Amino acid sequence: MEQKSNADLEKDLMSHLSATNLGKEHLASISKSIAASNAAGLRLVDWWIIGIPAFERVIIQTHLPINQVESLGKLIQNERFKGIDIWRKGIPKPDFFQVNFTIDKITAKAPQL
């Protein structure tokens, strides 16, 4: 599989996730975080838009080699991810993490707590 540059990956994410009608700032922040981690070993595997036709959430699945785990630091600090699920993968011994990022729809009508 060919390796995409950070700019190409960010452009692909922006293009695909634009169907969710996320705000430009929200979309740019998420795309930039994931694309920046690409250089540190994070590999985008797949993404799903849940809630058709009304977007409710997006799940982005990635793989990260165990020896590159420090690149999760900046991603974890991005408050726009609703959830981050991390699983060890690999047989016979774990050699990478599967990391799923969940992004929820943010609306102006959301209840204030």
3 state SS for the chain: CCCCCHHHHHHHHHHHHHHHCCCHHHHHHHHHHHHHHHCCCCEEEEEEEECCCCCCEEEEEEEEEHHHHHHHHHHHHCCCCCEEEEEEECCCCCCEEEEEEEEECCCCCCCCC
The pLDDT score that the predictor gives to residue 2 is 54
pLDDT in tens, 11-35: 777 777 776 667 777 777 777 777 7
pLDDT of residue 89: 93
Q: Name the residue with higher pLDDT: 1 or 71.
A: 71
Q: Is residue 96 part of a domain?
A: yes
pLDDT for the residue numbered 86: 93
Q: Is residue 1 a part of any domain in this protein?
A: no
Report pTM: 0.71
Task: Give the model's confidence band at 95: pLDDT under 50 very low, under 70 low, under 90 confident, else very high.
Answer: very high
Residue 109 belongs to a domain: no
> How high is the pLDDT of residue 4?
67
CATH of the domain at 72: 3.30.1360
Instruction: Give the chain's domain count.
Output: 1
Q: In this structure, is residue 112 part of a structural domain?
A: no
